[in-house]
Amino acid sequence: MRLRASRWTAAGAAVAVAAALLAVVGPAGAGAAHTATGHRWITDDQGRALVLTGLNTASSAKSRPDGLPWIKEADVQRESDALGSDFVRFLIQWRNVEPAPGTYDDGYLAQVAERVRWYGARGYHVMLDLHQDVYGPAVRGNGAPAWATEADGLPVAERGQWELKYIEPGTVRAFDHFWGTRPGGRDLRAHYAAAWAHVAERFADDPAVLGYDLMNEPFGGSVQGPAFEAGPLAALYRETIAAVRAVDHDSWIFVEPEAVSANWGLPSALPYLKDPRGDGEEARIAYAPHLYPLPMDLGGGYTGDTKKWVDRTLTSWREQTEKTARRLGAPVVIGEYGLDATLPGALDYVAKVRALADTMGAGTAYWSNDPGSWAPWDQHLKPTPLLPVLDRPAPRAIAGDPVAYTWDEPSRTLSVSWRPKADAHGNTEVYLPARFFPHGGVVTGGGEAAAWAPKSRTLMISSGSGDAHEVSVEVRPRA
């Protein structure tokens, strides 16, 4: 599908996308198949599969001149205490990384590094996300520096529904000049790749940094759909992956699909992307799509007909995500999901997405930690009803190939099963929040409780004796 820089054509295309969505989503799927296998896993230095759980930090970084999120170190501590998170998707801004062409602001990266340390000191894995929405501030968005924004004088009207700014003529033109898809126009992809290489060089040896989310919610300007994802987007990813690998051999590189469409459960045409790490070394490319069913983009809750639509979207979103992840040979992390948690049914929706992520074996980063109605804390940093929904028992690290894990709240049972293997060492670790496990957990099944760390509320589970092909454990509250 090609989108022209006319708002009417573009609006028509948006309607066509919505119609295609309705055609693609099938009937609501059968129940959860509890298999977390079928794709690769991000592993830690002991070879354990990581189940990453956390929040995005933070939307506030988009608009602040310093490009930094609102948090102080005490806020990271509070989040760690309240949610037991071990993962953060940390927003950074291209305009701050490269304020002038080829000039990088290492002072900014030092500020980012300080915040990364706050998380790292509490056991978090950090994914740096070079964020954009609506390209950059020069076209009423965020992300790109003004020097890299070429709108050819075309207008960008303010829009009540912010996503519609994407299809304003000036925004579409700025994207076209970024992607190099306008004959005789600019092509800024090399700048972007070089900026990423600079960031990666700074963080390559930082143990808290798990990897890099190359671009938030990519948008193709006048080139849309498969032509965009298999064309300029894949080209940008290949160039950026090469630039990052030249300075950072080991960090994970996360790629996102075209957002409008994939966020709604439509197919992605993102092609396989080779990781040039070297022969005999496993690729470290991961897939980090977002999940925002269309009615929720429009501010809907999770009740009635909207709930039915959302449930169908979840089914197709899972199918499409797994299909793309298989094509990429990539682990899956849901880089964003979330909604105004005060909407009717919102808490059920969040619980449902967490359960879906468990059946997929996907990590999750809730959007976002910015105090307010979407967050687990309000403007006064007091917990909201969302907090207990996010603060849920889950595995953190699994000492083998994960088979399945589920949390059953009515029976207060966390079930985890895995296949031990030679290159996975140490214990399986599960997070047990005080709400359900005030005195820790008791393990039944094939494993044994090895140690309880009350501060981090993690229970270490050993695979038990013998060389079982598969270990299944149930963890229930200690009396």
Chain residues that interact with ligand MNI, rule: CB under 6 A: 133, 163, 166, 216-217, 219, 259-260, 263, 292, 297, 336, 367
Distance of CA 302 to the CA centre of its chain: 22
Nearer to ligand MNI, 342 or 456 (CB): 342
Nearer to ligand MNI, 295 or 402 (CB): 295
8 Å CB contact between 137 and 90: no
**Distance of closest approach, residue 46 Cβ to ligand MNI, in angstroms:** 32
Nearer to ligand MNI, 94 or 367 (CB): 367
**Distance of closest approach, residue 362 Cβ to ligand MNI, in angstroms:** 18
**Distance of closest approach, residue 367 Cβ to ligand MNI, in angstroms:** 6
Nearer to ligand MNI, 133 or 176 (CB): 133
**Distance of closest approach, residue 335 Cβ to ligand MNI, in angstroms:** 8
> Per DSSP, which regions of 40-195 are E strands?
49-50, 53-57, 87-93, 125-131
Tokens (6 digits) for 397:
């690290």
Nearest in space to 363 (alpha carbons), one of 50, 128, 149: 50
Residue 347 φ/ψ, nearest 5 degrees: -70, -35
286 vs 41: CA distance, rounded Å: 9
Could you tell me which residues come within 8 angstroms of residue 279 by beta carbon, excluding any fewer than 6 positions away?
none
Omega before 58 cis (within 30°)?
yes
- Find residue 110's DSSP bridge partners: none
**Distance of closest approach, residue 274 Cβ to ligand MNI, in angstroms:** 27
**Distance of closest approach, residue 383 Cβ to ligand MNI, in angstroms:** 22
Nearer to ligand MNI, 60 or 111 (CB): 60
Give me the helices (H) in 42-188, please.
60-63, 73-83, 94-97, 106-120, 169-179
Nearer to ligand MNI, 10 or 432 (CB): 10
**Distance of closest approach, residue 245 Cβ to ligand MNI, in angstroms:** 26
**Distance of closest approach, residue 42 Cβ to ligand MNI, in angstroms:** 21
153 vs 147: CA distance, rounded Å: 14
**302-320: b or e for each residue (b if 16 or more CB lie within 10 Å)?**
beeebbebbbbbbbbbbbb
Nearer to ligand MNI, 263 or 415 (CB): 263
Nearer to ligand MNI, 335 or 400 (CB): 335
